[in-house]
Amino acid sequence: MANSVRGLIEGAAYGSRLGLTEDSVGIPDQSREPAESWDLGETKPNVEALERGVPGLYLSCFDMLLTEEATWLVKVSEGSSALQAAPMLRMEPREEPEQCPVIDSQEQGLSPGLEVQEEERSLEQVQSMVVGEVLKDIETACKLLNITPDPIEWNTSNVQKWLLWTEHLYRLPHAGKAFQDLTGKDLCAMSEEEFHQRSPQCGDTLHAHLDIWKSAAWMKERCSMGDTKTTVGDELWSEADSSCSGQPIHLWQFLRELLLKPHNYGRCIRWLNKDKGIFKIEDSAHVARLWGLRKNRPAMNYDKLSRSIRQYYKKGIIRKPDVSQRLVYQFVHPV
């Protein structure tokens, strides 16, 4: 089933120059909330879909498609031989990336009527949308975990972070120990069977997920080859890379990062007065979980996080505002 997803991503990589525009990635606001889809507490991973063996539906970005379009999407994913064939293209790169291979092979198969063309157009749009969402989700995870998008580059600590993240996200039993001391390179070299051997409960899921990350990384590389014109994907990645540099992050920096992305994290932390640097933690448990993920501290909670914030009092980094309110703090030096 991972192949279907992989095919979808890789197949769309070619269409991305045309298809993966801001417009096509533009999805109604309610359905493109990375914080929501990656949220540990509130997300509803489609485990049922996973168990049914529905390709791709375990991706969080598919949540929005589940309602009306799910059946259609499943049909497309399973029925299209082009999607299965797409990974083959990896071996023989095309000269004209603008031509979507999926469309090509379908046109050869049947003589397309108007409705079929219509359907193909929709398929293309869905593909672009899905790929865009996958990239965005991966980008979000990278920033949060402070890891690179390409699993090959992960060290053992990065691998553990990714495992913890994926396990939380899909409510999997903790299997980090089974993959201890493995680098991203090791992980990428492992077959599905090896994953299953190490973790019979969730090895398959983890392998499938890693496959998506690998495909996305491959696609990114693919897109960045050739011309220098940046695609949406590239912008996402480079943005992700920029935050992956430097020393271990400080808590106050992390909080600021969250505050700077109200679209993603506005539900758990937000400014009360940005000019004065006053902010409120709306969901203490959630923020603590995010911090724990970032620092690879599964046992993090608000009690400990707030203790760390209090250490900032005497350092003059964060203080309580003049009128003290619960869960409200203030940066001593606002931006």
User: Could you list the residues that contact DNA (CB under 7 A)?
Assistant: 157, 247-248, 250-252, 284, 291, 295, 297, 299-300, 302-308, 310-313, 315, 320, 324-328
Q: How far apart are CA 241 and CA 246, in angstroms?
A: 11
Q: How far apart are CA 179 and CA 183, in angstroms?
A: 9
Q: How far is the CB of 154 from DNA (least distance, A)?
A: 15
Report the residue number, 230 or 325, with the smaller CB distance to DNA: 325
Report the residue number, 201 or 311, with the smaller CB distance to DNA: 311
Q: How far is the CB of 292 from DNA (least distance, A)?
A: 7
Report the residue number, 170 or 254, with the smaller CB distance to DNA: 254
| DSSP type of residue 282 | S
Both tokens of residue 27? 């999805």
Report the residue number, 90 or 174, with the smaller CB distance to DNA: 174
What does the chain come to in residues?
335
Q: What angle do CA 316, 319, 320 make, to 5 degrees?
A: 165
3-state secondary structure of 45: coil
Answer whether 188's CB lies under 8 Å from 216's CB: no
Q: How far apart are CA 174 and CA 263, in angstroms?
A: 30
Report the residue number, 267 or 297, with the smaller CB distance to DNA: 297
HSE at residue 225, side-chain half, CA atoms within 13 A, is 13
Q: How far is the CB of 306 from DNA (least distance, A)?
A: 5
Q: How far is the CB of 198 from DNA (least distance, A)?
A: 23
3-state secondary structure of 200: coil
Both tokens of residue 163? 């495992």
Q: How far is the CB of 325 from DNA (least distance, A)?
A: 7
Q: What angle do CA 262, 266, 269 make, to 5 degrees?
A: 110
Q: Give the sign of the dihedral formed by CA 290, CA 293, CA 295, CA 298.
A: positive
Report the residue number, 229 or 326, with the smaller CB distance to DNA: 326
Q: How far is the CB of 256 from DNA (least distance, A)?
A: 12
Report the residue number, 218 or 302, with the smaller CB distance to DNA: 302
Q: How far is the CB of 260 from DNA (least distance, A)?
A: 17
